[in-house]
Chains A and B, each alone.
Chain A
Amino acid sequence: EAQVTQNPRYLITVTGKKLTVTCSQNMNHEYMSWYRQDPGLGLRQIYYSMNVEVTDKGDVPEGYKVSRKEKRNFPLILESPSPNQTSLYFCASSLETGRGPLHFGNGTRLTVT
């Protein structure tokens, strides 16, 4: 089944403890992206990647890192999480061309205390 898989679904951590949220897609998509969703603010893009080893900042990249060493994986790294990064995170992928739909994962709910 074609899908975008995020792990974990839920994560509670403490301030400053490095964490990684994984995202994997099995559709051979070139484009991948991370979003965070907060009440009243909609979906905001954190980082995106056009292809392997090509990443760029979205609207809210501060405090996050990403890497794209393989086509299928696009992990989101929080080197030193802070409480303001408590949010619902979504990963998405699509074919390189903007003509195709975005496929989203089921989300990761992160709480930083």
Chain B
Amino acid sequence: DAKTTQPNSMESNEEEPVHLPCNHSTISGTDYIHWYRQLPSQGPEYVIHGLTSNVNNRMASLAIAEDRKSSTLILHRATLRDAAVYYCILRAPNAGGTSYGKLTFGQGTILTVHP
């Protein structure tokens, strides 16, 4: 299975940018890079995903390395509500990929935001 590696924890101050890294050196050419976050006592929620180009949405930005072996989730101005566990996973686009049905989440990165 395609595997991702993330730091166990990171800290930030409120209103500062946060860069959450993810390594995925075994990514296949067609895998999408997905990010999810889990707030305390809630189910994981989708944040953003991308394939090759950098992506932006209302929640965050996703910067993907040119060789696609790593990516960075960027929260432009962290708020206290962004304190959560952030997961980076790979998803194959079709049944030919090893990350199509079977998904590995890992332990994610615990983000602490200080007031």
Contact = CB atoms under 8 A, between A and B. Distances in A.
A69 B105 CA distance: 27
Contacts of A101: 34, 46, 49
A50 B96 CA distance: 13
Interface in A61-108: 90, 92, 97-99, 101-107
Interface in A1-39: 4, 31, 33, 35
A58 B46 contact: no
Query: A45, A59, A102: which has the most chain B beta carbons within 10 Å?
Result: A102
Interface stretch (B10-18, B19-27, B71-79, B86-94): B86-94
A103 B46 contact: yes
B99 A98 contact: yes
Given A42-B107, A43-B44, A102 B95 contact: no
B103 interface: yes
Interface in B49-64: 49
A107 to B, nearest CB: 5
B71 to A, nearest CB: 16
A104 B38 CA distance: 10
B101 A107 contact: no
Nearest to A58: B102
B34 A102 contact: yes
B105 A35 contact: yes
B48 to A, nearest CB: 9
Given A41-B107, A56-B101, A101-B34, 20 more contacts: A31-B101, A33-B103, A42-B105, A42-B107, A43-B44, A43-B106, A50-B95, A58-B102, A59-B102, A90-B43, A92-B43, A99-B32, A99-B91, A102-B36, A102-B46, A104-B36, A104-B43, A106-B43, A107-B42, A107-B43
